A = this chain, B = another copy of it.
Amino acid sequence: MISVHPPSGFRDFLNQEAKRRLFLMNQISHVYQSFGFLPLETPVVENLDLLMGGGGGEENEKLIFKILKRGEKLAEALPSGDENRIAEFGLRFDLTLPLSRVVALHRGKIQMPWKVFHIGPVWRAERAQKGRYREFIQCDVDIVGAKGLGAEIEVIQAAAFALQSVGASGFELRVNDRRLIQAMAEKFGFTGPKVEQFAVIMDKKDKVEISVLLEQLREALGESLPSDVQPVLEGQLTLDQAVEFHAEAGNDLRTLVSTLQSLHLPLTGIVFDPSLVRGMGYYTGPVFELRHASAGYSFGGGGRYDRLIGRWSGQEVPACGISIGFERLVLLLAELEKESQSDSPILFLPVFDESLRPRICALAAELRGLGLSVDVFPDSGKIKNQFRFASEQGYRWVLVAGENEWSSGIFKLKDFKSGVEIDVQSEDLKDHLLKVFSQSKKF
């Protein structure tokens, strides 16, 4: 017996859930385009040697779904029993690696600074468990080839407006700088490989108690900690103090925070957080993260990564970007019951008799020409069943256009919400529906 379930860790989306996802993707992409960002579309598969040697972090490399060679190439490789020889491609585990590859390959087609966004699924063969999926959407927006803070400001502004456009509010932005973390670590006595340890322990701040982190830092250092570590972990460092640790990073943070504050972005606040690390090892300058008041986790973030994009292009290319956590945003919106935002009203047209279908389909086309969404019942069936269909579909408006209505020129418009049915003269129909629909969008 063949199972009709999707593979473990993979999901089907239909009806309202699929609508919400499509709405989110469209809104984010629309806002990014309104900033002049250009879309990027790359294959879901990459050559395996590229994925494995991409510096995407050993963690990610372990999680690659690998795709078999074919035909003779497979037959030759099979006896080796080596999965990296019998496989040839892999599903991408992020969108940053394809971006780097594209910059290296298409350098001649790209005008720098390149403002680019990339929305699409990525795959990681994590152990499937509740809330953790093996296929999920990432929404990256990046500026490649710009060194100045203008790039950070642009991607943050774009992400803030993208979040606003989907009806999500209550996000706070936290900012820090990797150069500052490095300088603090060194000042505290973490040198060489211990800098990385310092960053890794700091990065756990939202999941682990500060007293535990202090103990871990002390162990890593091998001696008692300087007294100014605790205020950093508690986020109590000021920007003035940051400048003392690292003048350039501190001043950049000051400019970044003050410029973003002056823009009155749709965010609840812009906060300097000296303990913010943002996992990935490739960041080289400012890092930032979006948090929501009602959730204890990040809804996205990013930073400057000046030494990553150039890994295959043979020359260093500055870059900075931000990624919105699409799957978390979908869940948040579902909780906030923002369906109404994604759900523009649809007029339902039942078909009482097949002989009326041509006229009803033509009427539907005319109404769609006005910008209305119109669903014509595609099958034959009892009126009672068609009304039940409309009601279960969550439609509010039904236009009754049976034989009597066509001959009298008076249609009936039923409002399922109020239960009221009114007569509309055929010549007033368009104006009336436009009025009713423009109002019902506000519900």
A351 to B29, CA, bound (A): 24
Q: Is A315 an interface residue (CB 8 A)?
A: no
State whether A263 and B362 are in contact (beta carbons under 8 Å apart), knowing that A13-B41, A375-B36 are contacts in the complex. Answer: yes
State whether A12 and B65 are in contact (beta carbons under 8 Å apart), knowing that A373-B33, A379-B151 are contacts in the complex. Answer: no
How many identical chains are in the complex? 2
Residues of A79-122 at the interface with B, using a CB-CB cut-off of 8 Å, are 79, 81, 83, 86-89, 91, 98, 101-102, 104-106, 109-111, 113, 115-116, 121
State whether A113 and B378 are in contact (beta carbons under 8 Å apart), knowing that A78-B81, A351-B150 are contacts in the complex. Answer: yes
State whether A6 and B66 are in contact (beta carbons under 8 Å apart), knowing that A154-B376, A368-B34, A379-B151 are contacts in the complex. Answer: no
State whether A368 and B12 are in contact (beta carbons under 8 Å apart), knowing that A7-B89, A115-B378 are contacts in the complex. Answer: no
Q: Is A14 an interface residue (CB 8 A)?
A: yes
Q: Within the complex, what minimum Cβ distance (angstroms) separates A151 from chain B?
A: 4
- B2 in contact with A50 (CB, 8 Å): yes
Partner of A389, one of B2, B111, B151, B364: B111
A358 to B121, CA, bound (A): 34
Q: Is A148 an interface residue (CB 8 A)?
A: yes
A348 contact set on B, CB distance < 8 A: 36
A53 to B26, CA, bound (A): 35
Apart from A14-B102, A154-B376: 6 A-B pairs, beta carbons within 8 A? A5-B105, A12-B43, A44-B121, A68-B68, A111-B389, A263-B358
- B358 in contact with A14 (CB, 8 Å): no
What residue of chain B has the Cβ atom nearest to residue A15's Cβ?
Answer: B38
Q: Within the complex, what minimum Cβ distance (angstroms) separates A175 from chain B?
A: 16
Q: What's the interface size class on A, roughly?
A: 35 or more
Residues of A241-267 at the interface with B, using a CB-CB cut-off of 8 Å, are 259, 262-264
- B42 in contact with A12 (CB, 8 Å): yes
A19 to B365, CA, bound (A): 28
Q: Within the complex, what minimum Cβ distance (angstroms) separates A394 from chain B?
A: 10
Q: Is A179 an interface residue (CB 8 A)?
A: no
A46 contact set on B, CB distance < 8 A: 6-7
State whether A378 and B42 are in contact (beta carbons under 8 Å apart), knowing that A2-B50, A36-B346, A373-B36 are contacts in the complex. Answer: no
- A45 in contact with B7 (CB, 8 Å): yes
A110 contact set on B, CB distance < 8 A: 14-15
Majority secondary structure, A binding face: mixed
State whether A374 and B35 are in contact (beta carbons under 8 Å apart), knowing that A65-B67, A259-B357 are contacts in the complex. Answer: yes
Q: Is A240 an interface residue (CB 8 A)?
A: no
Q: Within the complex, what minimum Cβ distance (angstroms) separates A382 from chain B?
A: 13
Partner of A40, one of B2, B6, B18, B67: B18
Residues of A19-53 at the interface with B, using a CB-CB cut-off of 8 Å, are 19, 21-22, 26, 29, 33-36, 38-47, 49-50, 53
- A11 in contact with B43 (CB, 8 Å): yes
A143 contact set on B, CB distance < 8 A: 378-379
Q: Is A434 an interface residue (CB 8 A)?
A: no
Q: Within the complex, what minimum Cβ distance (angstroms) separates A198 from chain B?
A: 31
A98 contact set on B, CB distance < 8 A: 12
A91 to B12, CA, bound (A): 15
- B34 in contact with A374 (CB, 8 Å): yes
